[in-house]
Structures are given as structure tokens and as C-alpha cells.
Structure 1
Amino acid sequence: MPLHVSQAPAPAQHSVLAALGSPALRAAGTPALRSFPGPLSAELPLPVHVLGVTAPTAAPAGAPATRLAGWRFLIRGGEVTLAAADTLRTAGGWTFSHFFEGPYLASTERALRQADASGSPWQPRLLSIPDLYMLTLWLHGDPAADPAEGAPDPADVLIPLAPAPPGIAAHRPHRVADLLPRLTVRLVPPPLLGSTA
């Protein structure tokens, strides 16, 4: 398998497993989890990085900056993905955040299959662009890299997940060097009228 799925921090995984066995599961807003009669598992942990734009004083204007925001686990019942679980880093370490359902689940699985079929050795990550309401599967070219570190390399690949923002085709792989400049332009606010910028 060309994909090299990273090992999530043990406290992040433990927090999800604890949530799966807690009464909070039955209170979650995820009908598929509440109604599934069998055992559930947390699989395919993916680090979730958030893309923003650095301040002009910190880096060249419009330069991308990423930070690790959490880990996402696909929650499976047998062979079926029912939901996902997110964890967050807090002052006390990794903690369970919430369960959720929705279109990103099937889209994530489809993008992972696309990446696997490519035959290239990728480290899969998720790259969230909150200002554009966009999530991508980020295929990092160094499978041995620390999944918590680094910014998208120009040769890395991004696969936008559905639903994608207007003008961006979901499930069409793009090199970072091709897609990121288009996204960064959307993230940088236009100069104010009358300014010298």
C-alpha cells in the first residue's frame, strides 16, 4: 500500500476509544453511531492541519502557514464508515472533541482510494482552509516525516474534498505549487481603497 498512515499520539487515540465506550456516544448527534448494534473501531488517523496566511511581518505577504489542529479518526462498524471523531490538543494534552457525520466522510475515503491507486508513497494528512470552507486530502511526499510538522511542499498533492468551494473541482488532484497560489489569493484580503499597497 503506497499510503503511509501515521500513528496518532496515544492520548488522542485513547480519548476517542474512551468516547466510543462512554454514554456520550449515545448522546452524540450522529444517528449512524447511535443505531449501530455492533462494536465500533477508530481507524485511519489523519493529522488535521489548518492553512492560513502569515502576517506580512512574519513572512513574505501571502506566504502560507500551517499548524496542527488535531487528529481525525474514521469510526467504523465492521466494513462501513459511520462517522468521524476529532481530537484537539489542549493545555493538558490530546482530548476527544466530537463525533460527526456528513459528506466529508465518503469524500475522504474516495480521496484515500485515489491516493492509494496512484502508486506513489504518500503520507496522508488533512489540510483545512476554514476561510474558504474547504478541506483537502494533503498527500505529503515524505512518508517518514513527522506528521505534526511541516508546511505543504510544492511537489505535494492536494485533493479537494466534496463539497469544494466554487471554482475548485472536488477529487481532482493538484500539485501544491499549482493549487496553493490560487487559494492564497482568495485568503489575502484586497488592499483598502486609497492605500499604497
Structure 2
Amino acid sequence: MPLEIPPAPAAAERSIRAALHPTTAHSPHPLHLNRAALTPALPLPVHQLMPAVSPEGPPHSRLTGWRFLLRSDGQAVGAAETMLTADGWAFSHFLEGPYISSSERAVGHAELLAEPYQPRLLSVPELYMLTLWLHVDIDADPAEGSPGPRDLLVPLAPAPPGIAADRAISTAELVTLLTARLTPA
């Protein structure tokens, strides 16, 4: 069943398109690709797990930005991210590296699942980890919510040691793995 990809805020997409414009000032995070040939696609809200492990209850997350894959000739070759500022959505930085292909691969596998999901990204900064978060409430506000018991999380490659990449797991399973990784011995 296809994923229900939430629409990104128009200002977020405009900031990405402006950053891709060839006359845009030098970015602090340069993109080593021909910007004029890139098209933003697959906007996903990026949430950060806050904190990664909390004994007081279920995981809590907050929206930190929107990430767009950047396509050239139909292939994802990079990404661009926005952040919310006092003036609204603004371009933050470009990204390249293994999370680009891993994100695309995880989304492709998620589209084959029987149940519909709203895709999001969930960052775990303490482990330099990113997951594709498949939220069961496809009508939910993409800026709100936290991983629930029925949601699936797909750690993207490269995943931290002890956490399998490209395999969908429950929120409870991920919290158990995070607790094991982040609790001092």
C-alpha cells in the first residue's frame, strides 16, 4: 500500500528551491553536485527523540525540520534540510552520504507493506542514528506526535553497533535497543 507522504510547508520547499538556485550565496555546508540540475522530492518531517532513553514513560519527540531528497535524472543524489526559525522555515544545510540511499531504500520497502503509514524521519543524536518512522495515523499532523506502540521504525544504514539497519522494528524494540546502547555498564 502506498505511503501517505504529508505535504511539507510551502515555505520550507521554497527555502530549498532558493538554496538550489545557482546564484544563492555560498552555503556553510556545500553540496558537491550541480545544484541547478537537482529537484527536491520526498519531503519528510524530521523529529528528534528527546531524550533518547527515558525511564519515565514512552518516547517523546519534537519536530526539528523537513528533509527533501534531491534528485538528478530520477536518482536520489543528496538531501536538503530546513529548520524552523523565528521568521518561519529556512534552509539549513545540504547532505550527502549513505543516509540518502538508505532512506530511499527504506521508503521503497515501506511502500510494499500491507498497512498504510505516514513516513517521517526520527533522529537519535546520541547515537548519530536516523530511522524511517512509519506512523500508523496517516491523517496526523506531521509536526506533532511521538513514536507509538503500533508504529514501525526502520534504522537507516549505517546503524550503530547492535542495531540492525533496514529492518522494521516496533517502538518498544527500539527503546530496548537504545537503552542497552546508552546505559552505562
Q: Does 1:157 align with 2:152?
A: yes
Q: Structure 1: which 5+ runs fail to align? A: 191-197
Cα distance in 1, alignment partners of residues 8 and 66 from structure 2:
7
Contact 2:12 2:82 in 1 (8 A): yes
| Residue aligned with 1:169, SS | coil
| Pair 51,24 (structure 1): closer, same or farther in 2 beyond 3 Å | same
Cα offset for 1:186? 3.5
Rg larger in structure: 1
| Residue aligned with 1:14, SS | helix
Contact 2:149 2:170 in 1 (8 A): yes
Cα distance in 1, alignment partners of residues 48 and 3 from structure 2:
21
Cα offset for 1:77? 1.4
Over residues 104-124 of structure 1, what are the superposed CA-to-partner deviations in whole Å (9 max), with x where a residue is unaligned?
A: 000000000110011320100
Contact 1:53 1:63 in 2 (8 A): no
Q: Please give the root-mean-square deviation of Cα atoms over the aligned residues, in Å.
A: 2.2
Provide runs of 4+ in structure 1 moved above 6 Å. none
Q: Does 1:121 align with 2:140?
A: no
| Residue aligned with 2:137, SS | coil
Cα offset for 1:21? 1.0
Matched residues, number: 184
| Residue aligned with 1:170, SS | coil
Correspondence for 1:30? 31
Cα distance in 1, alignment partners of residues 125 and 153 from structure 2:
15
Correspondence for 2:168? 173
Cα distance in 2, alignment partners of residues 54 and 110 from structure 1:
25
- Map 1:46-85 onto structure 2 (within 5 A): 46-53=44-51, 61=56, 63-85=58-80
| Residue aligned with 1:50, SS | strand
Cα offset for 1:25? 7.7
Q: Structure 2: which 5+ runs fail to align? A: none
Aligned partner letter, 1:2: P
Cα distance in 2, alignment partners of residues 137 and 166 from structure 1:
18
Structure 2 length as normaliser, TM-score?
0.90
Cα distance in 2, alignment partners of residues 166 and 20 from structure 1:
35
| Pair 186,55 (structure 1): closer, same or farther in 2 beyond 3 Å | closer
Cα distance in 1, alignment partners of residues 93 and 10 from structure 2:
17
Cα offset for 1:185? 4.6
